[in-house]
Amino acid sequence: MIAIVLGMLIVLSGVLFLRLHAFLALFFGALVVAAATSPHSISDSALQHTTATIAQVSGRRVTLTDVGSDLGSEAGAYYLVDATDDTGKLVGPSIVWVENFEGSEDERFANLGQPLPGDLNVSKAWLVSQENYAQATKLAKNSAINRVASALGSTFGKIGILIAMASIIGQCLLASGAAERIVLGIRQAMGERWTTPAFVISSFVLAIPVFFDTVFLLMLPLARAMARRTGRDYLMYVMSIIVGGTLAHSLVPPTPGPLFVATELNVSIGAMVIGGIGVGFWGVVAGYLYMVWANRRWDIPLRMTEEAAVAGGTLPENEQLPGFTISILPVFVPIVLLAMKTVYQAVEPIDGGVLLDVVGATISFLGDKNIALSLGAVLAMLTLVGKPSVTWESLSKSVQKALADGGVVVLITCAGGAFGEMIRQTNIGATIADALPASAGGLGLLVTAFVITLLIRVIQGSATVAMITAIGIVVPVANQMGLPFHPVFLALAIGCGSKPLPWMNDSGFWVISRMSGFTEKETLKTFSVLLTIMGVVSFLATLVFAMFSIWLTSNG
């Protein structure tokens, strides 16, 4: 626990007081946690879900409980490790031959090839495969910097390509004018009377591949132009952009925060997208109602500050923009491919011969998250190539800028992944799981995840850093306790926790305040309250859906 507190203090003080880059703060925090963690905790954390506890012995038949998902079920030589050993390393395990495993996951039996050692306290023993034991021993012997570097590389392997491709999609949509075409197309389809819902939908669609700050800066000129045209409702136009954009920022991949959380919990991108939209919808409804109420209560005028002047205030000419179909494809195609794979995997496989096998293999290939986002990036580059003024050199510069911007995000996210992995290696999951009442169950873990993320968010400001920091604490607890529902609900709870109570330590707070011309007080009572309402309501929706999932499982 001391190691975790030290690491958290380094991250928070580095970001808040020393103004370190988030990558450096997270990296140094991970290094300190790694150095302060005992080898015994490291090995225990590695073995925690690759073991089984021996409950009863009857001859050569052993009843197993708490069977880890990665224990294995093949006959062979297994280690019996004393779980009470606190010497700081794994010493002298007994070897037992297991002929076969049988039984359900809740109660599994092992038939032994020879009796258990007579001097072994079986009530305090773990059954571990030799391979898992060797990996845990090797990990415990690794130096702190090697473990941090390994965790950095592992995280990059999971999300590096995704963030790079999402950055290319976002940059090309901006450079080609496709992003503006999406906004104008949705607004024209819905009519001027429905401008605010059109802004909500547009900002949500754009915030999937484009970072929220960029979406806000892109759409603010449209909000200012509409306020000039109508002479009213400037606050509502600005808040409608925030409502849609922040939904995707916290709940829908491939935005880095939800992408990383989904990856760490082994939740498919398609499931996270569907779940994020499902619970986020209720947050949007609540936020929209507050937006309408706030617009009636406070008449915030359109002010032209120095910063706001940069954002402009005129609607672009339609003929200068690409067509709506080609503009929306880079966002639409990856979402469809990811959703197709998610649905295909959820449906019971049908033996339909060679044709269905080919279709299934095609869906699995194209629906792979890296392939889907890469296809989106290719389509996004085509929107830029289609402009008469664009050369291969300018296309290359756009891609270079996208990769440079995305590279910074990759570094921060990978450092966050390393920090989370070092926290997991302290075996904090077992400690928190033991502290939580048994009656809390999975719903108690959802509340814990929400509160932990919210606290980190309030302290240091960044929603993304809050999510990637909280997941390192929450995942080991979830692994220790088990989940009575799909892990997507835990990922959504963390995403919801990253929304509430943004204030002056959040960069987004100042972007919105300065660019929109709001005072600090006006930003607090509009933007800060809006996100808090959306986060809380979305979390309540997550709880309801999780309880419904548990009910379906128990009555299915």
Is 460 among the domain residues?
yes
Lowest mean pLDDT among 20-24, 220-224, 447-451, 515-519: 220-224
Q: Mean pLDDT across the stretch 263-278?
A: 86
- Percentage of the chain beyond pLDDT 70 is 81
Is 19 among the domain residues?
no
Q: Above 60 in pLDDT, residue 308? A: no
| Total structural domains within the chain | 2
Is 461 among the domain residues?
yes
Answer positive or negative: Cα dihedral of 154, 158, 161, 165: negative
Is 111 among the domain residues?
yes
For the chain, the straight-line distance linking the first and the last C-alpha, in angstroms and rounded, comes to 41
pLDDT number for residue 345: 67
Q: Above 90 in pLDDT, residue 172? A: no
Out of 141, 161, 187, a domain closes at: 141
Confidence of residue 79 (pLDDT cuts 50, 70, 90): confident
Is 112 among the domain residues?
yes
Is 69 among the domain residues?
yes
pLDDT number for residue 307: 47
Is 237 among the domain residues?
no
- At 39 the three-state DSSP class reads helix
Query: How many angstroms separate the CA atoms of 45 and 242, rounded?
Result: 40
Lowest mean pLDDT among 231-240, 249-258, 533-542: 249-258
Q: Mean pLDDT across the stretch 108-121?
A: 75
pLDDT number for residue 88: 42
Query: How many angstroms separate the CA atoms of 179 and 177, rounded?
Result: 5
| 453: containing domain | 416-554
Q: Above 60 in pLDDT, residue 313? A: no
Tell me the average pLDDT of the chain: 78
pLDDT number for residue 542: 93
Out of 141, 160, 178, a domain closes at: 141
Confidence of residue 72 (pLDDT cuts 50, 70, 90): low
CA dist 242 → 178, 223, 235, 269, 392 (Å): 20, 11, 11, 23, 35
pLDDT number for residue 119: 67
Listed in sequence order, the DSSP H helices in 312-391 are: 324-346, 353-366, 369-385
pLDDT number for residue 436: 59
We report the CATH number of the domain holding residue 114 as 2.40.10
Out of 103, 118, 141, a domain closes at: 141
502 CB contacts (<8 Å, ≥6 apart)? 457, 461, 463, 508, 509, 527, 528, 531
pLDDT number for residue 318: 54
Q: Above 90 in pLDDT, residue 513? A: no
Is 183 among the domain residues?
no
142 CB contacts (<8 Å, ≥6 apart)? 150
pLDDT (tens digit, 9 = 90+) per residue, 398-435?
888 878 877 877 787 788 778 877 877 877 666 665 66
pLDDT (tens digit, 9 = 90+) per residue, 452-508?
888 878 776 678 778 877 887 787 777 767 778 888 999 999 999 988 888 766 667
